[in-house]
Amino acid sequence: MNDDAVAGWTQGVTRVAVLTGAGISTDSGIPDYRGPDGVWTRDPAAAEVFTRTHFMSDPAVRARFWRTYLGHAAWHAEPNAAHRALAALEDDGCAVRILTQNIDGLHQKAGSAPRKVLELHGSMREVHCTTCRVRTPTADTLARVAAGETDPRCTTCGGILKLGVVLFGEHLDPQVVSLAEQIARACQLMLVVGSSLQVEPAASLCAVAVDAGARLVIVNRDPTPYDDLADGLVREPIGVALPRITAALTRALPDATRASR
CA distances to 73, 102, 134, 218 from 32, in Å: 11, 10, 30, 17
Pick the catalytic residue from 54, 83, 107, 121. 121
Is 206 part of any known ligand binding site? no
Is 157 part of any known ligand binding site? yes
CA–CA distance, 183 with 97 (Å, rounded to integer):
7
Start-to-end CA distance of the chain, whole Å, equals: 29
CA–CA distance, 87 with 27 (Å, rounded to integer):
16
Q: Is 72 a known active-site residue?
A: no
Is 154 part of any known ligand binding site? yes
Give the long-range contacts of residues 58-64, CB within 8 A, separation 24 or more: 59/150, 59/151, 62/150, 62/151, 62/160, 63/150, 63/151
Question: Would you list which residues are annotated within the binding site for Zn(2+)?
Answer: 129, 132, 154, 157
User: Which are the catalytic amino acids?
Assistant: 121
Binding residues: 129, 132, 154, 157
